[in-house]
Structure 1
Amino acid sequence: MPSPGIKPQVALATGSQTPLQPNATRAEAVADRLRLEIVSARIAPGTLLRETAVAEQLGVSPTPVREAFAALAAEGLLQVEAHRLKRVTPIDLAATHDLLRVQTKLWRFGYEWGMPNVGPEEIARLGHAIEIYRDALDRGHALAAIRAGHEFHSVFIIASANAELLRSTLDRRSLIARFILLHGSTTISKAGLRKHKAILACLKRGDADGVLIQLDELAARLLAMAGDRDR
């Protein structure tokens, strides 16, 4: 569970009357709403979801819910069951460890391929992500801190100009965020923030090897969380 002082960011309750995001399509808005609730565990792992029930609760037709379910299933957050039911993917620590092994390797490729293309604009974005991370920690918003960390890594992956690498990492960010939120107190701590700051410091002084060393240490900490619980 998250460490003391770091509380999960409150998600909208499924039955809430709060309107969906106005600047998205209906399907995108439904997907965003459900994604937040699943990642923050307001909708618990293993929960069965029915299109008609979710549509009624959110005040939309079943069509955008069906499209949202398909998008979330593609991200690994939902599993397809019989009779059009979807189950929120349970947290399987062995599968999570495998996921993290793959994703941390992809992050490293992103760093290696992206670093030569990082310029002042990317440096500014990295610094901004760190500021958001720090502010989220200060406010006790764990999910916002996790997302800031993901945005930090994405700067390198986007700089790599490899669309397949970007797609492969974006598709699993929500699964990783949920795991970190529920089990990853060490990665959303001040120590985790220091690692991101160390990466940026190495980058600014042109120390590519130092960047990768810091990234590898961050990845090892993340893998240890799943590995330790899998024993």
Structure 2
Amino acid sequence: MGQNLKLQALTQERSPSVTDVVYRQLYDSIVGLTMTPGTKLSEADVASQLGVSRQPVRDAFYRLSQQGFLLIRPQRATVVTKISPAAVLKARFIRTALELETTCTALERANPKDFRSLEDNLDLQKRAIENDKRDVFHELDDEFHAEICVIAGHPEVWTLIKNNKAHMDRVRYLALDKQVSQKAFNEHVAILDAMKAGDKPRLSDLLRSHLNRIANTIQTIRVEHSEFFEEDDHEN
């Protein structure tokens, strides 16, 4: 399934440059684990594969290195970094802080049309789980949370969340199976029910639990895929 148009509209304010396109392709490959941690890259190879000059590739490499996804080594191959548990937990903290505020605001602003939109999304999530379409479910999961930001009147918050949660997403892709998807779906249903009921304390508790679940997930996934994680990482 291609990039969801609604999310694209939320996160893109201008026509993308060549650097933006290169960056997005590399970003998606790294976060989606098509390029696994440890993969070596060169500007020349990427430029040739994408049919662009080396300058936009160099610029995209720099942006990705600033986000912690690439390690640029002079005179040596650039490498996709391993997953940092500390970076994942930091991203979790930022996302939780932002979404708690926007979701509680959405509770106060939501109308029946908004609830129907979220229900439609949940119907599609359920279908994706039944058909074991993990990538589709991941997109719909993001769309559910992005729509709540729209309902809150702050769609720009999703851009901040999306920019900060990428380290979480690499773990999510490793952990995403039918059982995990079903659990996330059930939590989405409960979150929507709390919004409909106008129960802000319950909504806050549900959302915090939903987003904090990755703290437990990362421990299990780190054991199963130790080669993808940093060895000497200090989690605070």
Partner of 1:107: 99
- Alignment match, 1:18: none
Q: Which residue in the other structure is 2:227 paired with?
A: none
Paired residue secondary structure (1:196): helix
Question: How many percent of aligned residue pairs carry the same amino acid?
Answer: 25
Pairing 1:155-174 to 2, within 5 Å after superposition: 155-162=147-154, 165-174=157-166
In 2, the alpha carbon distance for the partners of 1:139 and 1:185 equals: 12
Aligned equivalent of 2:26: 34
Aligned equivalent of 2:209:
217
Mapped pair 1:189 → 2:181? yes
Bigger relative contact order (CA 8 A; separation at least 6):
2
Unaligned runs of 5+ in 1: 1-8, 10-22
* Whole-Å separation in 2 of the counterparts to 1:121 and 1:81: 52
Residue in 1 aligned with 2:86? Answer: 94
Normalising by structure 2, we get a TM-score of 0.73
Contact 1:187 1:222 in 2 (8 A): no
Residue 199, structure 1, aligned to residue 184, structure 2: no
State whether structure 2 residue 133 is matched by structure 1 residue 141: yes
| TM-score where L is the length of structure 1 | 0.74
Q: Which residue is equivalent to 1:56?
A: 48
Cα RMSD for the two superposed structures: 3.1
**SS at 2:52 equivalent:** coil
SS of residue matched to 1:189:
helix
Give the CA deviation at 1:212.
Answer: 2.0
User: d(CA) in 1 for partners of 2:114 and 2:208?
Assistant: 21
Would the aligned equivalents of 1:110 and 1:156 in 2 still touch at CA under 8 Å?
A: yes
Q: Distance in 2 between matches of 1:113 and 1:193?
A: 22
Amino acid at match of 2:202: G
* Worse-superposed segment, 89-98 or 155-164: 155-164
Alpha carbons of 1:138 and 1:98: their partners in 2 closer, same or farther (altered >3 Å)?
Answer: same
